[in-house]
Amino acid sequence: MKLHRRILFITLSIGSLLAAARVGAADRRPSTDDLMVAVANQVPAFGGMFIGRDGLLRMYLLDPRQSAAAQTAIAAVFGRGRVSFSGAQAVQARYGFTQLKAWHDRASARPSAEA
């Protein structure tokens, strides 16, 4: 009987931990990088963006002719009304965001214990 209670307790405990882990993952807000990657997935020419001191949006694009597509993707990912596109400017990029992110992730990865 004691063995059955222990097994039941362990099973319930594991189930609770798994449920909490799922809730924690679902509650995690996407990072700015996550959002930028989502834009880049829709517009591969997207290299990033920032709001200048003048309050205008600057979008780094490998192909500045993709400005309209980038604006549509930014609005879809960040939410309409969260970003003003009035006076938005495309800036020539040398690298796409996904490439920059991959380099960042590799550079910031902890060295392995074997190295």
Residue of higher predicted confidence among 16 and 99: 99
CA separation, residue 111 to residues 36, 93, 105, 106, 114 (Å): 26, 30, 12, 10, 8
CA separation, residue 5 to residues 9, 14, 23, 71, 113 (Å): 6, 14, 27, 58, 41
pLDDT score recorded for residue 79? 93
- Asked if 66 contacts 97 with a C-beta cutoff of 8 angstroms, the reply is no
pLDDT score recorded for residue 111? 72
Task: Write the CB contacts of 64 (distance below 8 Å, at least 6 apart in sequence).
Answer: 90, 91, 92
- How far apart CA 40 and CA 34 sit, in angstroms, is 10
* β partners of residue 50: 58
- The whole-number average pLDDT for the span 41-61 is 97
pLDDT band at 2 (very low <50, low <70, confident <90, very high): low
Task: Using alpha carbons, select from 97, 94, 93 the residue that is nearest to residue 105.
Answer: 97
pLDDT tens readout for residues 58-99? 999 999 999 999 999 999 999 989 999 999 999 999 999 999
How many Cβ atoms from other residues are within 10 Å of residue 52's Cβ?
A: 11
